Chain A
């Protein structure tokens, strides 16, 4: 929880604060939230790795009901030069990029090999579609169950409405918040204990947009579910569109993850990590602020 609960127990400061500052520790994330956060993190890591393994079985994406094999909008492929050297080629629309070493062609046991994503990004590492699917569907269930638990818990405890949905004051301050983020200026004091407006928007978008979307698009790829989800498949333009959007949501998670880790680091990695492991988050206030 971002806001300071009324029952927060002030923990004695671990170190002597400088004269003008006051350091106090608040209980920021409840135990259920911390557990669900880490289950979610493990699920996303495995779903991403196994998803890329599945993608590698046919490393091309299309729009529409079926595959227009000559017109993927994204493909990871390879070309071979006259000397026999393999080059990884990533195509996005009509653009071509040489991505040798990472996409299209990467080393497997020291040998340049034609494969979409490299072994370090896939679960399992070697090409093994059946096993990738086994990992993916097992952790998809845990991801969904965990997500449903989070949603119910967040509704029940009002975490959703109190901590995640931006307040009117938040919306008014959005310009300032964008500027502050760009300048890497972060809130201090009591303001640091609550989620700021960009944080709230990011969490809501990633939970309900990427999270809900990636599950729905996964279901829309299932030939069995398509017998009852035809409307959803048609809504996005077809099964191959659903596969593309599923992939894009996964990329959305990566983008979120990178920004998330960046913000965790620049706003105090130790404090942040402790708060998501033990729940306790330290706030440092200058005396000035406390008198405001």
Chain B
């Protein structure tokens, strides 16, 4: 049955596409609400070919990359420290358990007041969304390192840093990777979300700008572009994870 799933999924997507096309062409969905998908694709192609979006795309992706890099590096370091300090772990566990419920974007206005309307508040939102996922998943991996490995490390007199890089982190890598995967998705969500809510540049801003100008011919192609970009980035990371796990004989 699994064999049929992927082709069927394509069929469903094509069906949706054709269905929307028909609904739009027959004016059941009026053109002020949505344009036919074929027109959206054509507009997107034109926008990309004209190079008008290059700056916005570069801005969004570079900010997302900074937020992602910060989340991963700080997250892993923090997890290594938290794992060693028991009292810290006890104090932070309840925070980790409820963190997903916190509307992180609600901090955005405050960050704008503090840092001004620029890159920093957006990067901080992306960082705040991603870092906890990295910490939680890294801790989960560190908890599973067999004690005998840690003892061996101590016997050969590895320093804590060396132990982290040569024993614990490699062992916990698959779990860390899950956190990294979340951080990729969250950094994109954070950057684009804050650009959309209030900003002066980036893909999210371009969408909200097009929306306020009733410029559907720009807005829908942009939405499509963001969906394509984020879905393909997430897919690539997923594939990479699968390959790494397969090499380790997991899954």
> Are chains A and B native binding partners rather than an unrelated pairing?
no
Q: Which residues of B contact A (CB under 8 A)?
A: none
